Chain A
Amino acid sequence: MEFYRSHVLVCGGTPCVLEGCKGVRDALIAEVKRRGLDREVKVVETGCLGPCDLGPVIVVYPEGTLYQKVRVSDVPEIVEQHLLKGRVVTRLVGEAPQAGVVKYEEPTYLGVQERIVLRNCGVIDPESIEEYIARDGYRALAKCLTEMKPADVIEAVKKSGLVGRGGAAFPTGLKWSFTAKADADQKYILCNADEGEPGTFKDRLILEGDPHSILEGMAIAGYAVGADKGFIYVRGEYVLSIERLGKAIEQAKALGLLGSNIFGSGFSFDVEIRKGAGAYVCGEETGLIESIEGKRGEPRIKPPYPGTEGLYGKPTVVNNVETIANIPPILLNGPDWFRKFGTERCPGTKVFTLTGDINNKGLIEVPMGITLRRVIYEIGGGIPGGREFKMAQTGGTSGGCLPKELLDVPMDYFTLPEHGSALGSGALLIMDASHCIVDIAECFMRFFEHESCGKCTPCREGTARLHEIVAKIARGEGKPGDLELLDELGSVMQVSSLCGLGQAAPVPIKTMLKYFRDEFEAHINDRLCPTGTCGI
């Protein structure tokens, strides 16, 4: 066992890679070695550290100093000052990351008069239940408990056409009805706030900006299915979310909006917070359940589905934060109101974290079915330097790649899959034409190799092999047949992996192979990078 005095974590998340973190990493390793510190200081590459729009991001431990927008030219100073002399380089230390909601003129661009999910974010003081109540907070819950039967609540959610925003797009009302039907002495509502996708922080901002909407939505779900207990599984790094949720729970309990016999209706509901174990796969609903139960965070085989056998073997609804945030407005305003937004097949809005090569970075809420072109050029303010769009990526797991061929396709959960892509849960990462596709592919595949839980063969071995083959192509060591092998392996992973991680891992590489095959071929056949950017 070797011991290191310091560890330098260099973010290897996709957004940081696009900002050039690999060069920073290589420079750090070289500089640490040149200064003879390589036995004391270890440079490690990690997954997304969170503040993606400030990349490349590095953190020096044990101090935990976070440096942002680090350039190769900053490296000697960091090594000299911080690692050698122990002095923090203050000019590179940023504020704690606080991305905001992109401000845009809603009526002009979208024809949307109100936001649904982000209705309160940035508008109310999230630590004040009074302000939440002043904006119709807890009215939907009151309406459900006093005027509606549980079956009516489920019917309303079904009618609204709401589908899950966590990635899999399962109809929420239908999901609830399974749990409602299940006969059990105990049922649970789980709010999935693990948000492990690199470059995504929509759920965090909802929790930080409007925690009561989640408590209210969960209580409504509990009433609808007959559950009196809820858990919010929050990514461990989301310290502020956890703090605000904790406060919100206390406030709601103090006012009798959580706890026993809410509104004198005889319905009781309690919520507890659980901190995430850190692995991406713990966001998968059954992995999350295992993790709450204190086991190794690994997905379970389905069936049985959580709806009938979930947490501690009891019927359990698992919903994403954004899905739940939609619930109070739907119940308050009715399903027909909700269906006015978005498309016929996929009503409502979608919240994205807009990052990458885009002028306006941050959180946006847009109607389902908006085209990527409008997102980039109308809301996002276009690509910096007027460079050409290359592709967008819609999220680590369930997402896919959107090349320019899909710029005008309506973005919703059902249309994109028809084009071999997917909407995913939250990230919208824009890449301009200066990036090498093989480089990007390698970065994605590294992420999946790192995040595979190792349980099933196709994903455990397949993610490693996808990465291995792509990495070889990136190094100029690709050989004929590689692309066919990637395609074949990807197909097998998609259909035979145990959980959504392995099933979705090949989607990016398969779409890239479909739309940018010539770029891969140039790397293999001519040992040449058409964009001239990667290290080949």
Chain B
Amino acid sequence: MAMVTIDGRKVEVDAGTTILNAAKKLGIDIPTLCHHPDLAVQAVCRICVVEIEGQKLLQPACAFPVQDGMVVYTNTPRVRQARKVNLELLLARHPQDCLQCVRNRSCELQALAERFGMREIRFEHKLRGLPEDHSTPAIVREPDKCILCRRCVSMCHDVQAAGVLFPSRRGADTVVTPVFGRGLDEVACALCGQCIHACPVGAISERDDTERVWQALADPNKHVVVQTAPATRVSIGEEMGLPPGQIITGKLVAALRRLGFDKVMDTDFTADLTIIEEGNEFLKRLKEGGVLPMITSCSPGWIKFGEHFYPDLLKHISTCKSPQQMFGALVKTYYARKAGIDPKDIFSVSLMPCTAKKYEADRPEMCDSGYKDVDVVLTSRELGRMLREAGIRFEDLPEEEHDDPMGISTGAAAIFGATGGVMEAALRTVYEVATGSELPKIDFEEVRGLKGIKEAQVKVGDLDVRVAVAHGLGNAKKILDLLREGKANYHFIEIMCCPGGCVGGGGQPIPTTMEIRGIRGNALYEADRGLPYRKSHENPAIKQIYAEFLGEPLGEVSHHLLHTHYTPRQKYPSVAKAVCGEAAG
């Protein structure tokens, strides 16, 4: 333990605690910019500097460890001057386009400028004039806005293991960029969007597709259908000013109707369907000696990562499409037929927590309905913008229900949005399908929570099924490396690209921290508990679609509409732009 004095007040903390955290205990909020609670210490912005008695230099509070007896001052003239000049230096190289910026009002730089009352910048305003990166359908980079805090670098390397973003060049020419200044389409980027959550400013953001949705909604000839992903029902509230972790499913449905969507259906329905298909695929692999372990396939960021870094392991991945793409294929076939609408007039929108889903929808093979299965993917943040623009206020909305025939879902589908949820949902169904008897205990606590890699063993009949769950690509990498070495002794592995699972997706509201990921995940488990059906195979709408349309799990129609294949990719891919219906590049 160490007793330190900060601004005249004493506090006891563990030795080695940073000054920043020690000050927090005293209620002193030291300003930061390159610091992120979940990421490695950078200590490069020098905004958080403080004075330590007996030292000539100021020290960064975010990095400097306290020692017993240390006396710290966080608010002296020298400290304030250093912070302000450093901020002034950053702003003098910054576009200051707040009014046109995607991060207006959620930007840490802007908030600091306000906090410090920056009224004058004495250095000449000089931008770096770097080109923007619009090379992918998911992520936009505006390097001129980058303040070189390197948080995205830590996220991309340490957490996501993709290692795509680097600091490059030197001095005032320094940039953070993919190698050789390439576009994100020319490197092994998972398009996970986690770098967006790392970024304190508007230098990285999602591609905004709201205008295409507004246009479709305004087009009288379009029948616009929206699907809502599991994780969005516990996050959209944050876009509308509510605290994290509110379950707002009913209000979300009402809000989407008010925006003008013709049908509001649920990705949770196809999540249940995924469990039926994937569960049966797993049982089939077990029975017929297929490739094991089988790895889940519903996270497109993980799929792209796997295609770049583990092309040799693709046969382990379930052939099931993600719930988004199952929905897309069905809305223009099953639903179109049932509703008597020409599929070419259906405009299919999906509301997702995810940036990689934008890319997935654009994959050339995702056109099994004969049309582009999903026309536009909106992230939670984009929907938030549309709702605010339309003046929809959550407090005034009633709770409404999703539309049929793809609107009923179970608790098993809801937890798809949290790490471990797909595994838990699958186990609930696999157990009962394989054994024909009811599960004694439906909650699989071992696979829940934010531990990086979770393992469990479940007795299904005579077999001890060994499962593992990894979230965040860095954790996935650990398991995949074991698998490659032949040391992953599992039958079934769940991988979700984003830390915390889809609740922490790259398209979720800002801020998304580990703490908030956990809160959203817990809300999904709460939603699960409150639902009448909690096992996918009990969903009546699922029984109905097999009876009316699909026939049987893994059957002919399923094979055509609900399953897919994967494409080995290089680490430095050349860009092949295939369009709907063409073979994958």
Q: Which residues of A contact B (CB under 8 A)?
A: 279, 296, 298, 301, 303, 449-458, 460-465, 468, 481, 485, 488-489, 491-492, 495-498, 503
Contacts and interface: CB of A to CB of B under 8 A. Distances in A.
Contact of B170 (A279, A303, A458, A465): A279
B36 to A, nearest CB: 15
B174 interface: yes
B460 interface: no
Contacts of B93: 461
A222 B534 CA distance: 67
Interface string B148-187: 1000000000000000001101111110000000000000
Contacts of B47: 457
Contacts of A488: 81, 85
Given A460-B172, A495-B78, 14 more contacts: A450-B171, A452-B172, A454-B172, A454-B174, A455-B167, A456-B43, A457-B89, A462-B89, A464-B171, A465-B123, A492-B81, A492-B86, A495-B49, A498-B43
Contacts of B298: none
Contacts of A464: 171-172
Contact of B148 (A458, A460, A462, A468): A460
B171 A453 contact: yes
Contacts of A450: 171
Contacts of A298: 167
Contacts of B49: 495-496
A399 B96 CA distance: 37
A451 B44 CA distance: 17
A454 B45 CA distance: 11
Contacts of A452: 170-172
Contact of B57 (A301, A485, A503): A503
Contacts of A481: 122
Contact of A461 (B41, B56, B58, B90): B90
Nearest to A455: B44
Contact of B169 (A454, A458, A461): A454
Interface string B35-62: 0000001011111010000001110100
Contacts of B123: 465, 468
A358 B31 CA distance: 51
Given A495-B58, A498-B43, A454 B89 contact: no
Interface of B: 41, 43-47, 49, 56-58, 60, 63-65, 78, 81-82, 85-86, 89-90, 92-93, 122-124, 147-148, 166-167, 169-174
B171 A449 contact: yes
A492 B123 CA distance: 14
A460 B149 CA distance: 12
A464 B92 CA distance: 12
A496 B89 contact: no
Contacts of A279: 170
B124 A485 contact: no
Given A458-B86, A468-B124, A495-B82, A449 B172 contact: yes
A3 to B, nearest CB: 18
Given A461-B172, A496-B58, A454 B167 contact: yes
25 contacts: A296-B166, A296-B167, A298-B167, A301-B60, A301-B63, A451-B171, A453-B171, A453-B174, A454-B172, A454-B173, A455-B174, A457-B46, A457-B148, A460-B171, A464-B171, A464-B172, A485-B122, A488-B81, A489-B85, A492-B81, A495-B78, A495-B82, A496-B58, A498-B44, A503-B57
A455 B171 CA distance: 8
Nearest to B44: A456
A496 B86 contact: yes
A465 B44 contact: no
Nearest to A503: B57
A492 B82 CA distance: 5
Contacts of B44: 455-457, 498
A196 to B, nearest CB: 13
A141 B2 CA distance: 43
Nearest to B89: A461
Nearest to B60: A301
Contacts of B147: 457
Contacts of A451: 171
Nearest to A493: B85
Given A449-B171, A463-B171, A492-B81, A457 B90 contact: yes
A534 to B, nearest CB: 22
Nearest to A281: B170
B56 A495 contact: yes
Nearest to B149: A457
A283 B46 CA distance: 22
Nearest to A450: B171
Contact of A454 (B58, B82, B171): B171
Contacts of A458: 46, 82, 85-86, 89
B67 to A, nearest CB: 10
B81 A463 contact: no
B81 A457 contact: no
Contacts of A460: 148, 171-172, 174
B164 to A, nearest CB: 16
Contacts of A457: 44-47, 86, 89-90, 147-148
Nearest to A452: B171
Nearest to B123: A465
A287 B307 CA distance: 36
State the 3 A-B residue pairs at the shortest beta-carbon distance, nearest first.
A454-B174, A461-B89, A464-B172
Given A458-B86, A460-B148, A489-B85, A453 B58 contact: no
Contacts of B85: 458, 488-489, 492
A496 B86 CA distance: 9
Contacts of A496: 46, 49, 57-58, 82, 86
Contacts of B81: 488, 491-492
Nearest to B85: A492
A463 B174 CA distance: 13
A156 B461 CA distance: 75
Contacts of A296: 166-167
A449 B173 CA distance: 10
Contacts of B167: 296, 298, 454-455
Given A279-B170, A489-B85, A492-B86, A454 B57 contact: no
Contacts of B174: 453-455, 460
A160 to B, nearest CB: 26
B17 to A, nearest CB: 13
B573 to A, nearest CB: 22
Residue among B58, B63, B65, B172 with most chain A CB within 10 A: B172
